[in-house]
Amino acid sequence: MKKHNFSAGPCILPQEVFEQAAQAVLDFNGMGLSILEISHRDKAFVAVMEEARALALELLGLTGKGYQALFLQGGASMEFLRIPYNLMKTDGKASYLDTGTWASGAIKEAKAFGETIVVASSKPENYNHIPKDFVIPSDADYFHCTSNNTIFGTQMKSFPETSVPMVCDMSSDIFSRTLDFSKFDLIYAGAQKNMGPAGVTLIVVKESLLGNTNRAIPNIMNYQQHIDKESMYNTPPVFAVYTSLLTMQWLKNLGGITAIEKQNEAKAKLLYDEIDRNPLFIGTTVKEDRSNMNATFLLADGNHKEVFDSMWKAAGVSGINGHRSVGGYRASMYNALPIESVQVLVDVMKELETKI
Ligand SMILES: *Cc1c(COP(=O)(O)O)cnc(C)c1O
């Protein structure tokens, strides 16, 4: 039986993408060769990379607006480092909003490059909300935020107005909701939360932002180098790029971000309504900052854990154990998760009431 997969990442992708990707491993484009055995310089793969880069910009509404899309290796964690390398002046400063484990990971890396100001942090409340009142220094080289906090289940619903370039880690909500993406100067996202398999990161950067730091940047760390080489400076992770392209094509055929956003809102509402209605469960974050991607919740009485766990497992639900830093449960409802899966989980939560 195919499971209802609520895994936080790597995570569910559309079934048709799994099938197309599997086919390409056996025979890519009818070439009589696997996608895993052709040169990345083969025109068939160059076309994949070109389409992936163009489609990422198209889905975000950023075509022709001075942005470049790159598909690079190293995960989102590598960008924690590449960003200050490319954007922080040698005597400059950076500003960061600390909303969770990933944000603080990015802050740690920036500190190795220069003055790093944390404009606000929700750490004292175990990151259960998004800080709202903070001031971004106007002389900062950039401001960095995390749009969705995968571990804690919070999501930024609005972004500050600032004259400072805005950088955003969108790893866990890329392509999930409509935003004015042109407000951001650099967006990055590890593929494995909403876009594809692990092994590739999408970086969307306004090209005019680059080349202003006086810093010597090693080629592999240098965004401009990767742009000049059309994201083929070294061998790209061909399978991860191809599968990400298939997911983006799936999303485009569905009607793009506006269409998926409606589904994502309906899924999140279904689950949060049950968390709020059912006295056996408690949400862990403040309501206004709840993530539509990752819902975190606890059992009101931990003694019900054994019964509840056996019930959702029997219903075919997978991947809802909470992250160790929050405990309880985390249901991740990425783009490819059907609402029917959320309904299965909600039905189990309702059924628990009748069992105890
Ligand atoms: C998962 C995640 C990361 C880390 O991604 P890696 O690809 O494992 O480096 C960074 N930021 C956010 C928001 C994430 O969800």
Mean pLDDT across 116-127? 98
Query: Residue 130: which of 95, 159, 110, 94 has the closest Cα?
Result: 159
Measure the CA–CA gap between 93 and 324, rounded to whole angstroms.
33
pLDDT tens digits, residue range 252-293? 999 999 999 999 999 999 999 999 999 999 999 999 999 999
Q: N- to C-terminal Cα distance for the chain?
A: 28
Q: Tell me, what's the pLDDT at 169?
A: 99
Catalytic residue set: 102, 169, 193
Helix H or strand E encompassing 105:
helix 101-111
Q: Tell me, what's the pLDDT at 111?
A: 98
Ligand 1 environment, Cβ below 6 A: 9, 75-77, 102, 146, 150, 169, 171-172, 190, 193
What is the residue-averaged pLDDT of the chain? 97
Q: Tell me, what's the pLDDT at 1?
A: 80
Measure the CA–CA gap between 172 and 202, rounded to whole angstroms.
12
Which of 73, 155, 171, 296 for a ligand 1 pocket mutation test, highest count of atoms within 8 Å of Cβ?
171
Which of 98, 102, 147 for a ligand 1 pocket mutation test, highest count of atoms within 8 Å of Cβ?
102
pLDDT of 157 strictly over 90: yes
Measure the CA–CA gap between 113 and 269, rounded to whole angstroms.
42
- Give the single-character DSSP code of 282: E
Measure the CA–CA gap between 304 and 302, rounded to whole angstroms.
5
CB 302 within 8 A of CB 327: no
Mean pLDDT across 151-163? 97
CB 170 within 8 A of CB 187: yes
State the CB neighbour count (10 A cutoff) for residue 206: 17
pLDDT-derived band of residue 7, with 50, 70 and 90 as boundaries? very high
Mean pLDDT across 49-55? 98
pLDDT tens digits, residue range 210-229? 999 999 999 999 999 999 99
State the CB neighbour count (10 A cutoff) for residue 82: 23
State the CB neighbour count (10 A cutoff) for residue 163: 9
pLDDT-derived band of residue 128, with 50, 70 and 90 as boundaries? very high
Q: Tell me, what's the pLDDT at 356?
A: 86
pLDDT tens digits, residue range 172-210? 999 999 999 999 999 999 999 999 999 999 999 999 999
